[in-house]
Chains A and B, each alone.
Chain A
Amino acid sequence: MMGDPHIGFIVAAYAVAVATIGAMIGWVVLDFRNLSAELARATRALDGARGGAKGNLRLD
């Protein structure tokens, strides 16, 4: 196969496919990590707001 006159086209096609599929996988995985971290932060903020309410009421 390496002696084929069009080997450059074959290698380029596979390289583009690998890069694009890698980008698709990376996008989904990184998005999940970022969203999980963001959800944890948002949940802490909500708990903090609710906890703050209870604490404030107790002080009174």
Chain B
Amino acid sequence: MVNLANPTTFVELTRRVLPWLVAATAVLFVSGLWLSFAAPPDYQQGETVKIMYLHVPAAWMATFVYAVMTAAALGTLVWRHPLADAAQKAAAPLGAGFTFICLVTGSLWGKPMWGTYWVWDARLTSVLVLFILYLGLIALWRAIDDPGRAAKAAAILTLVGAVDLPIIKFSVDWWNTLHQPASVFRLDGPTIAPELLMPLLVMSLAFTCLFLTLHLMAIRNEILRRRIARVTMLAAVEGDRLAPEFATRGA
């Protein structure tokens, strides 16, 4: 963890780990999709259950990415880890992407099963709030020029927004919702048939690996962005330092 605080060490680690992560992601996606399409149809939903293999992993990633950002926000504000704000900034567009997939696939699943694309029930609304939080955080980083101030403001907003995570998780228990209750992570075990559960777990692993891969790449991009800023500033300082010399000699 201490070594990873050094951006050069982190970039070197990324260079070594990325090929393995890319390969694992590809293998998991191919296996997951093959298992998903080979899985039997649901006795009630028929083949429409295939949407579950995208919707549920995307929903899990939507909340997981925000949990990662919350940990990174603590890293920025409490432990002042040098890469925590880069990790947080890099994760936001990915979280927004997963949440978008969750919302759209859920809507496309809802129409044939519930008869509507959207209802303002607690689960759907709290996930929409999460999507808006992601967009707000991305906008906040772009709105503030000073990277240090932007990181602090984003970290505070992320921590405030973290209250949405338990609301999303328990919304189906606390309120009467059209959305079904949890069927995998339950104290009394999953209620979903093993033939449908296995492809779901493999697809979830694939989505997790995809996030890890893209997150590492995006953090590396943030490190590059900082290097560019530093080198550009150094070049400007060198130029300023030379300018009086040129002026004197020119005169």
**Could you tell me if B47 and A7 are in contact, using CB atoms closer than 8 angstroms?**
yes
A35 to B238, CA, bound (A): 22
Is B93 part of the binding interface, using a Cβ–Cβ cutoff of 8 Å? Answer: yes
Task: Determine whether the beta carbon of B108 is less than 8 Å from that of A13.
Answer: yes
Does B34 have its Cβ within 8 Å of any Cβ on chain A?
A: no
Contacts of A35-51 to chain B: CB distance below 8 A: 35-36, 38-39, 42-43, 45-46, 48-50
Q: A46: shortest Cβ distance to chain B, in Å?
A: 4
Mask, B25-57, CB within 8 Å of A = 1, is: 000000000000100010000111011001100
Residues of A within 8 A of B108 (CB): 9, 12-13, 16
Contact of B48 among A4, A27, A38, A60 (CB under 8 A): A4
B245 at interface, CB cutoff 8 A? yes
Of chain A, the residue at the smallest CB distance from B104 is A16
Q: Mark B98-109, 1 if CB is under 8 A from A, else 0.
A: 001100110011
Q: How far is the CA of A28 from the CA of B101 in the complex (A)?
A: 18
Surface stretch bound by A, among B124-132, B141-149, B175-183, B223-231: B223-231
- Alpha-carbon gap, A45 to B232, bound state (A): 8
Look across to chain A and name the residue whose beta carbon is closest to the beta carbon of B217.
A28
Closest chain B CB from A32 CB (angstroms): 5
Chain A contact residues, CB within 8 Å of chain B: 1, 4-7, 9-10, 12-14, 16-17, 20-21, 23-25, 27-29, 31-32, 35-36, 38-39, 42-43, 45-46, 48-50, 52-53, 56, 60
**What 3 A-B pairs come out closest when comparing CB atoms?**
A49-B238, A4-B47, A35-B224
Q: List 27 A-B contacts (CB under 8 A).
A: A1-B50, A4-B48, A9-B48, A10-B50, A12-B108, A13-B104, A17-B54, A20-B97, A20-B104, A21-B101, A23-B97, A24-B93, A24-B94, A25-B214, A28-B214, A28-B221, A29-B217, A32-B224, A39-B228, A45-B231, A46-B238, A52-B242, A53-B238, A53-B245, A56-B242, A56-B245, A56-B249
